[in-house]
Amino acid sequence: MQEVDPVQVQAWLESGAVLLVDVRETREYEAEHIAGALLLPMSSLDPDYFPVLPGRRVVLHCAIGKRSQAAAKVLAAAGPEVAHMHGGLDAWKDAGLETELPLPEPAAKVVQPGQVLAQEYMAPKGLDLAELARRSGLAQAELAGLVAAE
């Protein structure tokens, strides 16, 4: 079984010469993964259904290299020629190579009270600040600050 280092795997990925298979579990992959890696958790690895692509190397990786090494041995015994990336995702990051992280949850948009006043009260009634000031008895400058969320 061949062991390859992350820099070599990156070069193969860039040239399209490799199928990189991540054998970690789904939750690990979702937390962080190498762009272009195919997720095939070791817990569901079946050599009979393992993808083999003629003309492309297959390299397995995991977090630190232990699971991918074990998976490579299982697959090699069944026939497919595979390699494993020494050191796994940790070695990949130690080599300064990039990973994909989940996008942060978008922040909830906070609607300012002045926007609600302007959009849901003033606009439907056709009121401008001067008219609202006259009707409410408040200073127009105060209302302008409220609507502008100052």
How far apart, in whole angstroms, are the C-alpha atoms of residue 130 and residue 127?
Answer: 8
Residue with tokens 């390699």, as numbered in its chain? 83
Enter the pTM of the model: 0.68
Range(s) within the chain of domains with CATH label 3.40.250.10: 2-94
Tens place of pLDDT per residue across the chain (150 aa): 799 999 999 999 999 999 999 999 999 999 999 999 999 999 999 888 887 778 888 999 999 999 999 999 998 887 778 999 999 999 999 999 999 998 777 777 777 888 888 888 888 989 888 988 898 888 988 888 888 876
Q: Which fold has domain 2-94?
A: Oxidized Rhodanese; domain 1 (3.40.250)
Beta bridge partners of 59: 20, 83
Q: Quick one: pLDDT at residue 150?
A: 60
How far apart, in whole angstroms, are the C-alpha atoms of residue 89 and residue 121?
Answer: 55
